[in-house]
Structure 1
Amino acid sequence: MRSVGVEEELLLVDRENGEPRALSHAVLAAASRDPRGNEEVFESELQRQQLEFATSPRTDMGDLAEEIRRWRAEAARHAEGVDASVAALATSPLEVSPTLGTDERHLWLQEHFGLTTQEQLTCGCHVHVSVESDEEGVAVLDRIRPWLPVVLALSANSPFWQGEDSGYASYRNRVWGRWPSAGPVEVFGSADRYHQQVADMIASGALLDEGMVYFDARLSKAYPTVEIRVADVCLDASTTVLLATLLRGLVDTAAREWRDGVPPTRHGVALLRLATWRAARSGLEGELIHPETMRPAPAEAVVRALFDHVREALDANGDTAGAQKALAELLDGGNGARVQRRILHRTGSLRSVVAECVRRTLE
C-alpha cells in the first residue's frame, strides 16, 4: 500500500482581533524549547505570518488524521505562548501587509519577482504519495493532470482577499498562479523528458532552483513521491484526510493504467488552465469542467466522477467507506469557501470569520 504524507501551511493570527501576525520565528523558537522534541516538524515559510508542518508517511488514513490534528494542536499551543492562534485559512480574510522572511532565498525572490513575492501570503496543502521510481512517478503525473482541478474545487478555502470578497472560491490559486512556473503542465512521456524540462527551466535563469518548479503536481526533490500541490489548505482536518485518500487512489489508478498500457488523456495545457480557473472560481458551487469531456457539468457530478474513477483503488486500500462518508459530509456542509461566506452572512464580520475558523482548525 502506498504511503501518504501531508504538508499544511497555517496562518498565524492575533488571538484578539484575528489579524495576521509575523510571529513564525517566535513560534519556532517556542517549539525548539519544547521538551517533547517536536520542533523539527515545524518550518517557517515565505512570509512570517505563516507556519508549516509535515506529517510522517502513513499508510493508514486514521493514523494520518490523528497526526494532522496533533500537529495543528501543537502549532496552536506554541502560538498561544506569543498571544497568537493558528488558522487553516488559505488567504487572510482581513487586510494584511505580509512580512517577508529574511533568509537568502527569500531575498532573491523579492529581488527577482518584486510585488509577486511581497503579496504572496497564501497557505496550501501538499500531499505526497509514494511511487516506486521516477518513471512510474512521471507516468502518474501524466495521467492525473485533468483531475487536479477537481481536487482544487474540493479544497477551495480562500474566498477573501485584503478584506474583500474576491468572487472566487480559491483566490489563493489565482495569486499562486503569478509565479512563472506554476500551474498545469503538458504530458512528459518519460522521466528523462521530465528532468530535461526541469533542467531547462532552471537554465533559463528565471528560477533559482528545482524548489521553484511550482507545477500543480511534480516529482518531489527530497522524497520518492509525487507531490500534489494544487490544493488550498483545508479548513477542516477531515477534508485534508479526504484529499489524501482520493489522491492516493488517483495515483494508484494512474499507475495501474500505465502498467496496463493505457495512454494518458492528452488535454492541452490551455484547456487544463481553463478547468483550473473554473475550479478556483466556482469551488463546489455551480459548474466545473468535466475532466473527461472538457465540457461544463454540475460540480457534484464532476466530484462523483472523480470518486468513480478511483473507486477500484479505494476498495483495494480499504478506504471506500471512509471516503464516501467524508465526501458526503463535505458536499452537504460545504468546503472552506462556503463555510467562510456563510459565517460572514450570519455575522457581518470578517473578524468573526477568522475567530470561527480558528476554532474549526482545531476541531
Structure 2
Amino acid sequence: MRTVGVEEELLLVDAGSGDPRALSTAVLALAERRAEGDSVFESELHDQQLEFATEPRTAMADLAEEIRRWRAEAAHSAAEAGAAVAALATSPLPVSPAIGEDERHRWLARRFGLTAQEQLTCGCHVHVSVESDEEGVAVLDRVRPWLPVLLALSGNSPFWQGQDTSYDSYRSRVWGRWPSAGPVELFGSAERYHQQVEALIGTGVLRDKGMIYFDARLSHRYPTVEFRVADVCLDPADTVLLATLARGLVETAARDWRAGGRPDPVTAGVLRMADWQAARSGMEGRLIHPRTGRPEPAADVAHALLDHVREALEDSGDLASAQAGLRTLLERGTGARIQRELLADSDSLRTVVTECAARTRG
C-alpha cells in the first residue's frame, strides 16, 4: 500500500489577544528540548509560523493520531513561550509579518520583496509514495483536474488583515503570487518534467528545485507526489480526509496509466479558473466539475471525486471512513465557514483566533 505523509504549517499567536507572535525560534528551541533533540518541527518563511511533518504512514488511523499528537506538542511548546498555535491558513487579525533569519528566507525576501513579505500563509502538503518518477509524472498529468476540489475542501482562510476577503481560501490567492505557483500543463514523461524544472531554474528567477511551487509536483526530497494546493485545515479530520483522497487519486491515476489510459487534456488556463472558483466559494457554492468544465454544486463535485477514487479506496479499506469524513465536512463546514460562524457569534476576530487555537490544541 502507498504511504502517505503530511506537512502542516501552523500560526503562532498570542494566547490572550490572538495577535500573531514572531516566536518561532523560541518555540523550536523548546520543542527540541522536549523531544530531547529529535524534534519534528521546523521554521518557515516567517517567524510567526511553525511546521511539522509526519512519518510516512499506510494506515489513516495512524496518520490521524500523529497529526493530533504533533499539534498538541506544538501547543505545549508554544505555551511555554507564552503563545499558542492555531491551524489557520491566514491570520484573521492585522499583522506585520517578520521574515526569519535563515539565509534562504532572507534571500527570498531580497529577491521577491513584498510578495515574500506578505506570505504569512499556512498550507498543508500531502506526500503520496510512487514507484518511480515516470509513474509520478503520469500521476501528476492525471490528477490535475481534481486539485481544485482538494483546495475547496480545505478552505480555511477567509480573513486577511482584519477583514473578510469574500474568499474561502484567500491563502491560495496570496500564494499564487509566486512565479512558479499554480496549475501546469501536461508533461507527458518524467524526462519532460525534469526538463521543464531545469528550464524554470535556468531563468534565474528561482533559487532551486525547492521553489517549484506547482499545485502538485514530484518532491525533490522524497519518492513521492506532493500535493501542495490545500490550506492547513482547522479540523485534523479534514486533513486525514485530504490525505485519503490524495492517495486515492494517486492510485487511480497510476492504474489508469498502467492500463494505457490518457490524461484529460484540460488546459492550465481552465484549471486556473477552477482554482479561482474553489478559492472563492469553497464548499459553499459551485465548483468547476472536472468532467464537464461547467459549474455545479460543490457537494456534487466532491462526491464525484469520491466516486472517481472509489475503487482505490475500497482496495485500501478507506472508503467508509472517506464517506463519513466527507459527510461530516459537508454538514459542519470547512474552516472558513467555522471562522465566519465564530465571528458572527462573537463579533470579535480575536475570539475567532483564540477559539481556533483551542481547537488546534485539542
Superposition TM-score, scaled by structure 1 size: 0.99
Distance in 1 of aligned mates of 2:252 and 2:56: 20
The count of aligned residue pairs is 362
1:212 correspondence with 2:244: no
Q: 1 CA distance for matches of 2:30 and 2:89?
A: 24
Q: After TM superposition, give the deviation of residue 79 of structure 1 in Å.
A: 0.4
Deviation, structure 1 residue 35: 4.9
Alignment of 1:183 onto 2:189: no
* 1:327 alignment partner in structure 2: 326
Q: What corresponds to 1:8 in structure 2?
A: 8
Alpha-carbon distance in structure 1 between the residues aligned to 2:244 and 2:308: 13
Please list, as runs of the form range in 1=range in 2, the aligned pairs for 1:167-316 lying within 5 A after superposition.
Answer: 167-316=166-315
Deviation at 1:345, TM superposition (A): 0.7
**Mapping for residues 149-160 of structure 1, pairs under 5 Å:** 149-160=148-159
Shift of 1:231: 0.2
In structure 1, stretches of 5+ residues that fail to align are none
Give unmatched runs, 5+ long, in structure 2: none
Deviation of 1:118 (Å)? 0.4
Secondary structure in structure 1 of the residue aligned to 2:18? coil
1:82 corresponds to = 81
Q: Once structures 1 and 2 are overlaid, which stretch shifts more, 150-159 or 285-294?
A: 285-294
- Report matched runs for 1:14-53 at 5 Å: 14-39=14-39, 41-53=40-52
- Distance in 2, Cα, partners of 1:36 & 1:323: 36
Q: Distance in 2 between matches of 1:177 and 1:38?
A: 33
Match for residue 126 of structure 1? 125
Please state whether the residue corresponding to 1:127 is helix, strand or coil.
Answer: strand
Structure 1, residues 227-253: CA drift from partner, whole Å, max 9, x if none? Answer: 000000000000000000011000000
Instruction: State how far apart, in whole Å, the 2-side matches of 1:353 and 1:171 are.
Output: 17
For residue 327 of structure 1, what is the amino acid of its counterpart? L
TM-score when normalising by structure 2: 0.99
Give the distance between the partners of 1:32 and 1:312, measured in 2 at CA: 42
- Partners of 2:103 and 2:38 lie apart in 1 by 25
What corresponds to 2:112 in structure 1? 113
Write the distance in 2 (CA, Å) between the matches of 1:75 and 1:107: 25
Asked whether 1:146 is paired with 2:137, we answer no
1:300-334 superposed Cα distances (whole Å, 9 cap, x missing partner): 00001000000000000000111111110000000
- Measure how far apart 1:38 and its partner are: 3.9
Displacement of 1:362 in angstroms is 2.7
Paired letter, 2:27: V
Read off the aligned partner of 1:169 and give its amino acid letter.
D
- Local SS of the residue matching 2:309: helix
3-state DSSP of counterpart to 1:10: strand
Residue in 2 that maps onto 1:351: 350
Q: Compute the displacement of 1:133 (Å).
A: 0.1
Q: Counterpart amino acid of 1:248?
A: R
- Distance across 2 between alignment mates of 1:107 and 1:123: 19
Q: After the TM superposition, list the runs of 4 or more consecutive aligned residues in structure 1 that deviate by more than 6 angstroms.
A: none
Letter in 2 for 1:206: V
AA in 2 matched with 1:259:
R
Give the letter for the 2:26 counterpart: A
CA deviation after TM superposition for structure 1 residue 37, in Å: 4.4
- CA deviation map 1:83-122 (0-9, x unaligned): 1000000000000000001222112111111100001000
**Which letter does structure 1 place at the counterpart of 2:188?**
G
Deviations 1:241-271 (A, max 9, x none): 0000011000000000000111000100100
SS at match of 1:33: helix
Q: Distance in 2 between matches of 1:19 and 1:38?
A: 29
| Letter of the 1:151 counterpart | L
Query: C-alpha separation between the residues in 1 aligned to 2:38 and 2:294?
Result: 47
CA distance in 2, matches of 1:36, 1:66: 21
Find the aligned partners of 1:312 and 1:199 in 2 and give their Cα distance.
36
Question: What's the % identity of the aligned pairs?
Answer: 70
Pick closer, same or farther for the CA change 1:319–1:35 going to 2, 3 Å.
closer
C-alpha deviation, 1:211, in angstroms: 0.3
In 1, Cα distance between equivalents of 2:23 and 2:175: 22
Q: Name the CA distance, whole Å, in 2 between partners of 1:38 and 1:24.
A: 17
